A and B are shown apart, each in its own frame.
Chain A
């Protein structure tokens, strides 16, 4: 079945350093979504990418969708302690438009 993997599983960075997490799907995706979950909280939608090669920015966050629409990345410039949490990507399942498969997640810790 469809799998969505993320690397790394964990990342510790010093405040001010950059951070990148990568998302890889075993199948081509029509779109990809990114979510952030703070410790003890629930996932919060960040963005959706639809087009091949698409790049979107939200302040210090840069999201990319691969040309083949099978991978994506999230890059954070100059991390802050508020960036702490787990970042998940999610792609639609071939089984249905409304069913999504979540990636394994990357847990980010930022050391002050």
Chain B
């Protein structure tokens, strides 16, 4: 748990606006992930990255974009194309044996 930070804790988005969620880890993990969680639901994979400068789409990548320029950082942009962005966004880093999650960002649409 410690070693992964997400900011901000809460984020408000206006119509037509792109917003970027930050995720940083100091655990020296190669793999990083973004998940979306809707109220009372499970985790759905948006994007993941196994190595710097490379990332793959998950199950619900439409309307989202990511970059992996540094091993420690994996920011997620929620674009205006994502029509229903209100959710709890969880970033994780890990190995083949486990994942460590950050505290999450709650995104709300105004």
Give the interface of A toward B (CB within 8 A). 31, 33, 35, 41-45, 48, 88, 90, 92, 96-105, 107
Contact = CB atoms under 8 A, between A and B. Distances in A.
Given A48-B98, A98-B31, A43 B48 contact: no
Nearest to B35: A102
Contacts of B41: 105
A98 B98 contact: no
Given A98-B30, A102-B35, 5 more contacts: A35-B99, A92-B96, A98-B94, A99-B45, A105-B41
State which size class the interface on B falls in.
20 to 34
A103 B45 contact: no
A102 B56 CA distance: 17
A88 B50 contact: no
Contact of B99 (A100, A103, A104): A100
Interface string B28-49: 0011000100001111010010
B92 to A, nearest CB: 8
Contact of B42 (A31, A33, A104): A104
B103 A88 contact: no
A105 B42 contact: yes
Contacts of A31: 97
A96 B42 contact: no
Nearest to B95: A98
Contacts of A45: 98-100
Interface of B: 1, 30-31, 35, 40-43, 45, 48, 50, 56, 58, 90, 92, 94-104
Nearest to B103: A42
Contacts of B50: 96, 98
Given A42-B1, A42-B90, A43-B90, A88 B96 contact: no
Contact of B102 (A42, A48, A99): A42
A33 B98 contact: yes
Interface pairs A-B: 5 shortest CB-CB: A42-B101, A98-B31, A102-B43, A45-B98, A105-B42
Interface-centre pick from A33, A43, A88 (highest chain B CB count, 10 A): A43
